[in-house]
Amino acid sequence: MSQRYFNKEIETMPREQLKRLQSEKLVRQVRHVYDHVPYYRALMDESGVSPDDVKGVDDLYKLPFISKSDLRETYPYGMLAVPLADCVRIQSTSGTTGKRVIAYYTQHDIDLWEECCARAIVAAGGTKDDVVQVCYGYGLFTGGPGLNGGSHKVGSLTLPMSSGNTERQIQFMMDLKATILCCTPSYAAYIGESLKERGYKPEDNCLKAGIFGAEPWTEEMRRDIQKSLGIKAYDIYGLTETSGPGVAFECCEQHGMHINEDHFIAEIIDPDTGEVLPEGEKGELVFTSIDKEAFPLLRYRTRDICVLTSEKCACGRTHIRMSKPMGRSDDMLIIRGVNVFPSQIETVLLKEGYAPNYRIEVDRFNNSDTLDVFVELAPEQFSDTVSGITAMERKLSESIKTMLGIQPKVHLVAPKSIERSEGKAVRVIDRRKLHD
Ligand code: ADP
Ligand code: ZN
């Protein structure tokens, strides 16, 4: 078990002390935002809360929420809390669910973000002797710049590969003996598949760990990637609105991601009523940035659905852990009245021995929803007879029905016929939206 931390004092701080630290920072931050962000001041005034009403973390619930629509409304600089001249960087969301929003950073904000990523790299076993291959996209997307900065802070040799050009990724991984791989889990799976096709065995690479995030992935997917690359695969979570990746990261226990609570206060709310839920209940994750200067969002609704636990972790870190988000509340499909998360389908596919190459299509015919799941066959499965394949489709359809409660139509398709992802995978096509 690794006992290593990037910032031991903070990462292992007793929880009462951590709460005091959060409270002090929160009081200061609420005042800062009230004084410098007219949009949020108006929201506070409307809800009848003044900065003096917030004396600590226990008063957080009094503050109004911010959601993505507020950020779209105030685009580009309506949330700016310092003079623009004090900012040194802009990043932007991937735009997975609509118009992109932008975030702005002072040097202080960049430093704290990069420290969060450094904590994640060290938790995955990274040191100055490691070679960190970053194949998240660089540019406006936060993945590349975040892990790049974290890797520098750790003192590792950083390979700023960005995403794509898998041939070159593999060449550099082998020639430069990369030890830690950072990318989306879907791209990690693709790299694993590509290595195998080139005749490499998992033990042929020097990788020991991977830091994968930016999209939902299942435990089954983790096992698959760990096996194909011969590594330990760690989850990392974040969003542009709070900085980028590194808001939370997995430790050696691989059992929930520690949230960097010295910078972010996490709450779980009921997405319908906005009511704060007790620890252990599943709901929407809400973050308050208590340290950021330029873009300090208070009570930002992430739309990600998960569970928090402050139970002691064997790694020694005291910061609260979040479960893997099941997906965003707006990723959830309602099909024939049943709530379906794409991750549930992924779990079944991988359990049944299929590779994580699939596409989910939802449509509506004669007022009834249809669910089609396209799953790629491995080359050795493809040689089976037509009746054999039909039987496999039927079996998979039954397993998915057992998980979801509704029957999908399963289509087993030829190897390589489903597009691979180099960044965030797009796995769901909901055609009902086009008809509405
Ligand atoms: P966009 O909202 O356009 O995708 P971001 O690039 O900022 O913008 O992505 C942040 C979102 O990515 C999070 O809100 C979450 O839904 C998803 N995400 C990030 N990391 C993870 C992770 N480890 N597991 C599941 N989802 C994740
Ligand atoms: Zn831990």
What is the distance in A from the centroid of ligand 1 to the CA of 375?
24
Expressed in angstroms and rounded, the spacing between residue 35 Cα and the centre of ligand 1 is 30
Nearest CA to ligand 1 atom 13: 239
> What is the model's pTM?
0.93
Residue 234 burial (C-beta neighbours within 10 Å; 0-12, 13-18, 19+): buried
Please provide the average confidence, as pLDDT, over all residues in the chain. 95
Q: Residue 246 and residue 261: Cα distance in Å, rounded?
A: 11
Say how many Å lie between the CA of residue 263 and the centre of ligand 2: 17
End-to-end alpha-carbon separation of the chain, Å? 53
Parallel/antiparallel/unpaired status of strands 358-365 and 428-430: parallel
| Ligand closest in space to the Cα of 304 | 1
Provide the 3-class DSSP secondary structure of residue 202: helix
User: How far is ligand 1, taken at its centre, from the CA of residue 237, in Å?
Assistant: 7
What is the per-residue pLDDT across 103-143, written as a single tens digit (0 to 9) for each? 999 999 999 999 999 999 999 999 999 999 999 999 999 99
Element housing 83 (H / E) = none
Q: What is the pLDDT of residue 2?
A: 46
Tell me the domain boundaries of the chain: 8-330, 334-430
Sheet containing 358-365, strands listed edge to edge, beginning at the edge strand earlier in sequence: 409-413, 368-376, 358-365, 428-430
Burial of residue 169, with CB atoms counted within 10 A of its CB: 0-12 exposed, 13-18 middle, 19 or more buried: buried
At residue 373, the pLDDT reads 97
How high is the pLDDT of residue 1? Answer: 42
pLDDT of residue 55: 98
Does 93 sit in the ligand 1 pocket, CB within 6 Å?
yes
Residue 379's pLDDT band (boundaries 50, 70, 90)?
confident
Beta carbons within 8 Å of 167's beta carbon, 6+ residues apart? none
User: Is any ligand 1 atom within 6 A of the Cβ of residue 328?
Assistant: yes
Point out the least confidently predicted range of 45-49, 56-60, 257-261, 417-421. Answer: 417-421
* Average confidence (pLDDT) over 23-50: 98
Q: Residue 271: in which H helix or E strand, if any?
A: none
Q: Residue 293: CB within 6 Å of ligand 1?
A: no
- Longest Cα–Cα distance in the chain: 73
334-430: CATH number:
3.30.300.30
Name the pLDDT band for 171 (thresholds 50, 70, 90): very high
pLDDT at position 374 is 97
Give the position, in ligand 1's atom list, of the atom nearest the Cα of 244: 7
The answer to whether residue 223 scores a pLDDT higher than 70 is: yes
With a pLDDT cut of 90, the percent of the chain lying above it is 89
8-330: CATH topology? Rossmann fold (3.40.50)
> Does residue 318 surpass a pLDDT of 90?
yes
Q: Is the per-residue pLDDT at 385 higher than 90?
A: no
